């Protein structure tokens, strides 16, 4: 069974590669390449998979999941300029793909010992663009 | 060890009219099957189209694909064909095909596949999913390839929700 919890954070970022020309950056990132940055209300959906506990009837204590999301994502990223304030984006371009992957890694690390499996991270940059990250077992 | 599979989805909108009427059915059978959608003069929707691509995140750009290139593909090969059109009369693919949202999703998937390499051939991204919402209450989804890091999805219309 899958359970999804939502969260939101607002942050600014800029997507550009310093070695490329303005035209090349615009071709890759569009307006997102504006050197001084811009911001979004990012909407995050975190999905975990597990079976409901026979005693509590819950897949996971969602307060616990909320706390993990708060600590790993919202507190460090909300109202921040990702490129300047949130590692690894001081050296990794904070595209939606990379932000979603970073969130996946942070949450996967925290949920590793939990009874549930992190199934999906969906990050909306705007209402018209979202990125899904799902896991795979590459050792299998 | 866990790695990640990344899928990028862009959402587009187009408004179009259509009428559902199958030449293989009688007048009363069409009315019974399609209900209001069989109204002889047709009717319209604000369709919402989701296009999803999968692929490796390019280590240099941080992108699965530059979304402007996907936008160009969708605008030039899909939206131009469908937006503000009567699908039955103006879109050649529906000259003899009932424009149910199932068929619209299938035709859009075919158009995107057909022109994918022209617009996105330089990227590693692959078309994975087309989802068309006809109204806020129904959506039709077609998966066009196997998602690289999962095992349980094959091509075909996989879900219809109402």
**pLDDT, tens digit (0-9, with 9 covering 90-100), for B6-19:** 999 999 999 999 99
Q: What is the mean pLDDT of residues B108-126?
A: 96
- What pLDDT is attached to residue A140? 34
From chain A, pick out residues whose CB is under 8 angstroms from the CB of B12: 128
Q: What is the mean pLDDT of residues B150-154?
A: 46
> Does position B152 have pLDDT exceeding 60, yes or no?
no
pTM of the model: 0.86
What are the tens digits of pLDDT across the range B42-92?
999 999 999 999 999 999 999 999 999 999 999 999 999 999 999 999 999
Contact at CB, A94 and B62, closer than 8 angstroms: yes
**HSE-up (13 A, CA, CB side) for residue B10:** 16
> Does position B155 have pLDDT exceeding 60, yes or no?
no
From chain B, pick out residues whose CB is under 8 angstroms from the CB of A136: 2-5, 149-150
Q: How far apart are CA A95 and CA A79, in angstroms?
A: 17
- What pLDDT is attached to residue A123? 98
- The alpha helices in chain A, defined as continuous H runs, are 22-29, 62-69, 75-77, 82-85, 96-111
Name the stretches of chain A with pLDDT < 50. 137-140
Tokens of A130: 């979202």
What's the mean pLDDT when you consider all of chain B? 90
pLDDT band at B31 (very low <50, low <70, confident <90, very high): very high
A9 and A82 in contact (C-beta within 8 Å)?
no
How many contacts (CB atoms, under 8 Å) link A and B? 85
B139 and B133 in contact (C-beta within 8 Å)?
yes
B56 and B124 in contact (C-beta within 8 Å)?
yes
- What pLDDT is attached to residue B151? 45
> Does position B149 have pLDDT exceeding 80, yes or no?
no
Tokens of B63: 């992108």
- What pLDDT is attached to residue A7? 97
- What pLDDT is attached to residue A139? 38
- Give the chain A residue whose CA is nearest to the CA of B2: A137
From chain A, pick out residues whose CB is under 8 angstroms from the CB of B66: 27-30
């Amino acid at each position: 069974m899958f359970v999804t919890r939502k969260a939101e954070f607002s942050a600014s970022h800029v997507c550009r590669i310093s070695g490329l020309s303005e035209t090349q950056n615009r071709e890759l990132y569009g307006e997102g390449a504006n050197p001084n940055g811009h911001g979004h209300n990012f909407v995050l959906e975190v999905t975990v998979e597990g079976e409901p506990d026979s005693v509590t009837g819950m897949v996971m204590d969602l307060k616990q999941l909320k706390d993990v999301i708060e600590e790993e994502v919202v507190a460090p990223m909300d109202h921040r300029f990702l490129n300047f304030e949130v590692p690894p984006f001081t050296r990794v371009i904070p595209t939606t793909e990379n932000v979603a992957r970073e969130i996946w890694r942070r949450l996967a690390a925290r949920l590793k010992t939990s009874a549930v499996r992190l199934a999906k991270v969906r990050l909306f940059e705007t209402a018209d663009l979202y990125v899904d990250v799902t896991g795979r077992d590459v050792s299998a | 060890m866990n790695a990640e599979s990344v899928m990028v989805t862009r959402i587009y909108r187009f408004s179009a009219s259509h009428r559902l009427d199958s030449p293989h059915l009688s007048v009363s059978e069409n009315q019974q099957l399609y209900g209001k959608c069989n109204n002889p003069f047709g009717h319209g929707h604000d369709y919402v189209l989701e296009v999803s691509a999968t692929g490796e995140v390019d280590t240099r750009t941080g992108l699965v694909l530059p979304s402007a290139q996907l936008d160009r593909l969708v605008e030039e090969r899909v939206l131009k064909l469908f937006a503000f059109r009567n699908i039955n009369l103006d879109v050649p693919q529906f000259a003899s095909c009932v424009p149910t949202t199932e068929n619209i999703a299938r035709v859009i998937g075919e158009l995107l596949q057909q022109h994918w390499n022209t617009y996105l051939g330089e990227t590693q991204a692959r078309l994975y999913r087309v989802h068309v919402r006809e109204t806020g209450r129904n959506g039709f989804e077609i998966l066009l390839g196997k998602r690289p890091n999962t095992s349980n999805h094959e091509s075909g219309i996989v879900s219809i929700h109402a």
